[in-house]
Amino acid sequence: MLMGDLLEEFFKRPYVAAKVAEGRLPETWREIVGDRAADFTTELRLEKHILHVRIQSSVLRQELFYQREALRDQINSRSGVRLVNAVIIR
């Protein structure tokens, strides 16, 4: 068995895949919301599959509040695992 095959199998394990996706969360967030919105994000915290997001701009906060389900779906889609069950925007 090749080392690449072993690593691929290792990273496909649910726990490992979730931890990798969690580590990439700031990067994934920036890809989804864009650079400007990511710059206004002061906190991204994942607790028990709930993503807590703190946004400085009240206008942006309101806009993202209405897109919570779409944000959740995009994060899970890009992560390849069910990482987030809900998004809380503050």
Residue 7 lies in a domain: no
Residue 65 lies in a domain: yes
Residue 1 lies in a domain: no
Q: Using one digit for the tens of pLDDT, what is the confidence trace for 44-65?
A: 999 999 999 999 999 999 999 9
Residue 59 lies in a domain: yes
- The answer to whether the beta carbons of residues 21 and 81 sit under 8 Å apart is yes
User: Total structural domains in the chain?
Assistant: 1
To the nearest 10°, the Cα dihedral for 43, 18, 79, 77? -110
The pLDDT of residue 35 is above 80: yes
CATH code assigned at 74: 3.30.300
As a whole number of angstroms, the distance between CA 87 and CA 52 comes to 6
Residue 6 lies in a domain: no
pLDDT band at 13 (very low <50, low <70, confident <90, very high): confident
In single-letter form, the type of residue at position 75 comes to I
In single-letter form, the type of residue at position 38 comes to A
Residue 40 lies in a domain: yes
Q: In the prediction, which pLDDT does 4 show?
A: 83
Neighbouring residues of 32: CB distance < 8 A, sequence distance ≥ 6: 71, 74, 75, 78
For the entire predicted model, the pTM comes to 0.83
